[in-house]
Structure 1
Amino acid sequence: MPDERPWRPRLVALDIDGTLLRWVAGLGMSHEEVTPAVHDAVQRVLDSGAHVVLSSGRAPHNMTDVADKLDLHGHGEKIWIVAANGAVVLRYPPAEVVHEVTFDARAAVAAVLEQHPDALVAVEERGVGYRVSAPFPDGELGGSTSVAAVADMVAEPVSRVIIRDPKATAEDFVALAANLGLHGTDYVVGWTAWLDLAPVGVSKASGLEYVCQQLGVDRADVLAIGDGRNDIEMLQWAGRGVAMGQAIDEVKEIADAVTASVDDDGAALEIGRWFPAPGSGGMEA
């Protein structure tokens, strides 16, 4: 007989900035505060026995603080975190990288800098911060930074390269990446003229696929919530992909549903459909 029980996620994959944390108006950074509604919704997922996995473009060291604010390991288990847009997967606490994909970024970085010679370049320095070609705008990179030559930064394979041009727009970078082709390299454009270069085939979806294989969870049983271009593959891959209310149209169009904005706790509202607070109902189709 077919299973007639209503669908309920076995794993909830959550973007951070613009999904769990609210943006600081006009800046490329988030308020590092989790609202009570979001915190409580995440706890209900954990209480049910389902998994919660943070999935972000952030570096690992910028994600563990958010995990702490959410009390993700409150049940005593090491949690899974998908960082660097899927290139790095770690367990926490303590932070332990269990999967990483790297690539030779030299050609792609050179091609981008040929078109945007004044752009800033950053490569993660594991557990510390970033090596940068020059200082980034305040608040855009977490952790400490140290200045280095671009050639030195990409001399060895890396998991991710950030290229940022404060003088350009997101649309400039979308056109740039499409025109360059960037053979052997994948890319995603951020909220502004921010370009993440990554190994081919690597995305939040590929990182989550690795986690699901370890946990024995089918992608059909995954609820994913996000708001950015770097969430598109994840939302398409998951059994249910939900865009935040303030997401750009490109993200909303591929999502299965759209929830409220981050300012209105949209992630908590979506989670509440499947993991309702006592007395609130839920489990809607």
Structure 2
Amino acid sequence: MHKPKILFFDIDGTLIDMQKKCITPLMLSTLHKLQANGIRLAIATGRSPMTVPLEEFPGVQFDVFITFNGSYCYDKDRVLFASPIPTEDIRTLRRNAAALGRPMCLATESRLAANGTDADLADYCAIAKIPVPIAEDFDALAAGKVYQIMIGGRAEEYGRLMQDVHGAKIAAWWDRAMDIIPTAGGKGTGIAHVLAAYGIDKADAMAFGDGNNDLEMFGAVGTGVAMANGSDALKAAATDICGACAEDGIYHYCVEHGLIEA
């Protein structure tokens, strides 16, 4: 296999098993070996910068972070791309969510803030091992730079939630909640900015993912590898499919394709 110059990894369901909620020793070793082989490593997640679980990756120095599903991208030296949701759309989304009886959680560069909670939002936050961050200054934050909004909900609620919203879109990877990001965002957009900043061609980039919010990511790289535990839509769009996250699928794929040694 052509050796990629950079690898992009989703976190939940890709690097970290959703049931065990931790990275396996073999997967951690895989990241170390890939880095030792001169391949840049990048996170591409719907999580905020504050909830990227760096403690799960001891000794790994990720080169780039694509967070909020591509709305906020950075490396250790600089912000590579930042695209907040238009304030008018935040007001509309808040009104629509209230009509559905759904609280919402705003994500700024350095804060998470919710105006309430329900079972779906609580369980969604629990995936990142945090409580719902109910905030008294929610109104003030809603008027500032918001890069993502998290709301509990099902697919049948999408239409009503997004009614009259023009500058934002849904990036969903779980069937009980959704991430709302600016239309200018998306993991694919984030990756395009990262590749341009580093002077790396699309053909030299590879990505691993499991959810529908990874579809745009696969379109931005030369090789998109879906996890066996991934969605049917992502598998259909993938260049290749590896084993499940819980079965160290990425490790076996990297060994089989000569990216690392066993």
The normalised TM-score by structure 1 is 0.79
DSSP-derived class of the 2:34 partner: helix
1:199 equivalent among 164, 176, 182? 182
Q: Which runs of no fewer than 5 residues in structure 2 stay unpaired?
A: none
Question: SS of 2:31's equivalent?
Answer: helix
Matched residues in 2 for 1:133 and 1:39: separation? 37
Residue 271 of structure 1 is aligned with which of 232, 254, 261? 254
Structure 1 CA distance for aligned equivalents of residues 170 and 92 of structure 2: 10
Does the CA contact (< 8 Å) of 2:152 and 2:176 recur in 1? yes
Rg comparison, structure with higher value? 1
Secondary structure of 2:104's aligned partner = strand
Out of 69, 72, 83, the position equivalent to 2:57 is 69
Contact 1:42 1:70 in 2 (8 A): no
Q: Does 1:102 align with 2:102?
A: no
> Deviation digits for residues 181-233 of structure 1, max 9, x if unmatched?
73221221231231211111311111111111121111111110101111110
Q: Per the alignment, in what secondary structure is the counterpart of residue 9 of structure 1?
A: coil
Task: Note if 1:186 corresponds to 2:169.
Answer: yes
Q: Given the superposition, is the C-alpha separation of residues 276 and 184 from structure 1 closer, same or farther in structure 2, using an over 3 Å criterion?
A: closer
Distance 1:185 1:174 in 2: 12
1:161 is aligned to 149
Structure 1: runs of 5+ lacking an equivalent: 1-5, 25-29, 281-285
* Number of equivalent positions: 254
Q: Kindly, what percent of the aligned residue pairs are identical?
A: 20
Structure 1's 218 and 273: CA in aligned 2 closer, same or farther, altered over 3 A? farther
Structure 1: which amino acid aligns with 2:222? G
- 8 Å CA contact 1:130–1:143 kept in 2: the answer is no
Partner of residue 88, structure 1: 72
Q: Partners of 2:257 and 2:40 in 1: how far apart? A: 13
Equivalences for residues 205-284 of structure 1 within 5 A:
205-278=188-261, 280=262
Q: Distance in 2 between matches of 1:181 and 1:245?
A: 37
Q: 1:57 aligns with which of 35, 46, 58?
A: 46
- Of residues 116, 122, 131 in structure 2, which corresponds to 1:137? 122
Question: TM-score scaled by structure 2?
Answer: 0.85
Preserved contact between residue 44 and residue 275 of structure 1 (Cα < 8 Å): no
The residue number in structure 2 matching 1:37 is 26
Worse overlay, 143-152 or 207-216: 143-152
CA displacement 1:143-188 (0-9 Å, x = unmatched)? 56232476444222311111114xxx3x3245556x7373221221
Residue 283 of structure 1: aligned partner: none
